[in-house]
Structure 1
Amino acid sequence: MALSDADVQKQIKHMMAFIEQEANEKAEEIDAKAEEEFNIEKGRLVQTQRLKIMEYYEKKEKQIEQQKKIQMSNLMNQARLKVLKARDDMISDLLNEARTRLATIAKDPTQYQTLMDGLILQGFYQLLEPKVTIRCRQNDLNTVQAAVQKSIPIYQAAVKNTINVHIDQDNHLPADISGGVEIYNADGKIKVSNTLESRLDLMAQQMMPEIRVELFGANQNRKFLD
């Protein structure tokens, strides 16, 4: 049975509607998949960039922390150096004051004579030479002569040997030193410096650990005392 034109047109419309519906459904499916892929890619890119930003700021934070540590270390070192300098300045001032007070020792004739006796006798023992030369300040000549006369018999009795002592009256020690003597062997190559300044320097060097403890207290970071 042949279809009428109306039936043909109706089937064509039905087929077109079906095709259009399938096309729309396909288009919606493509759009949905594209949207899903877009969201996935967008999320991946956002996550990637977020991680990069986090890594960047973590790196910056570490750099800032490192800089803070370096600055803190530098400040602590500067403070430590200032403390050490202040301590050294205090010790220098103390030694300078002690040197200034040395001049008062020679003003007491009895005390100074006793000290000179000991310095000269000690010099004899240190050299242990048969011939020695003594240099002193010009105004100490009498004090030195008296000390030599007293020290020679003590020394000779102790070492069982003689000693010839020459007091150099042409080459005096500088007048600006506080006192004491320099004693030389016969050829002048060996010297014992027993001036008051040299004795103070030696004493300060030997007693420096005790001086520092007395002034600043014990060093808690020091493991050994010798």
Structure 2
Amino acid sequence: MALSDADVQKQIKHMMAFIEQEANEKAEEIDAKAEEEFNIEKGRLVQQQRLKIMEYYEKKEKQVELQKKIQSSNMLNQARLKVLKVREDHVRSVLDEARRRLGEVTKNPTEYRVVLQKLIVQALYQTMEAKVILRCRQVDLALVNEVLPPSVEQYKANIGKDVVISVDTENFLPPDTCGGVELIALNGRVKVPNTLESRLELISQQLVPEIRNALFGTNPNRKFTD
């Protein structure tokens, strides 16, 4: 039975509607899949950037923390250095006060005469030469000439050797020296300073740790005391 034109048109429309429906469904499926893939990719990119941001700020935080530690360490070291400087200045002031009091010894001729003789004999023990030159302050010249003979006799009695001492009357010790003498032997190759300052310096090297302990107490971090 032959189809009429109306039937053909109807079937064509039916086929077109079916094709259009399938096309729409396919388009919706593609849209849905594209939307899903878009959301997945968007989530991946967002997570990736979030991790990068977190990593960046974690790195920054570590840098800031490290900088804080470095600054704290520097400030602590500076504070320690300031404390040490103040302590050393205080120790130095104690030694300066000791030096000032040493100068007062020379104001008492009787006491200074005994000290001067001991200083001369001690210097002779260090030179152990037969001929020496003695230098002193110009203000001590008369007192030195006075104690020189007993000093030589004491040296000879203890050592059993003679010594000739020439007092240098052209080159004196500086006037701001506290007192004492300097012996020269072997044409200037040997010099033995035995002034009150040199004795103080020698003693202070041994006593500075004790002075620190007396002023500031024992350092708990010090393992050795020698």
TM (norm. structure 1) is 0.91
Percent identity of equivalent pairs = 64
Shift of 1:160: 1.9
In 2, Cα distance between equivalents of 1:101 and 1:154 = 28
Q: Where in structure 1 do 4 or more consecutive aligned residues deviate above 4 Å?
A: none
1:165-204 equivalence runs, <5 A: 165-204=165-204
**What residue ranges of structure 1 are gaps of 5+ in the alignment?**
none
Question: Helix, strand or coil: the match of 2:106?
Answer: helix
Question: Helix, strand or coil: the match of 1:129?
Answer: coil
1:125-204 equivalence runs, <5 A: 125-204=125-204
Amino acid paired to 2:100: T
Shift of 1:53: 0.9
1:1-226 equivalence runs, <5 A: 1-226=1-226
* Backbone CA RMSD of aligned residues: 1.8
**What residue ranges of structure 2 are gaps of 5+ in the alignment?**
none
Once the two structures are superposed, what CA deviation does each residue of 1:38-93 show, in whole Å capped at 9, x if it has no partner? 01110111011111111211121122112212211221122122112212221222
In 2, Cα distance between equivalents of 1:86 and 1:224 = 23
In 1, Cα distance between equivalents of 2:15 and 2:187 = 136
In 2, Cα distance between equivalents of 1:38 and 1:200 = 89
In 1, Cα distance between equivalents of 2:166 and 2:88 = 41
Amino acid paired to 2:53: I
8 Å Cα contact 1:179-1:195 kept in structure 2: yes
Question: Helix, strand or coil: the match of 1:107?
Answer: coil
Aligned residues: 226
Amino acid paired to 1:16: M
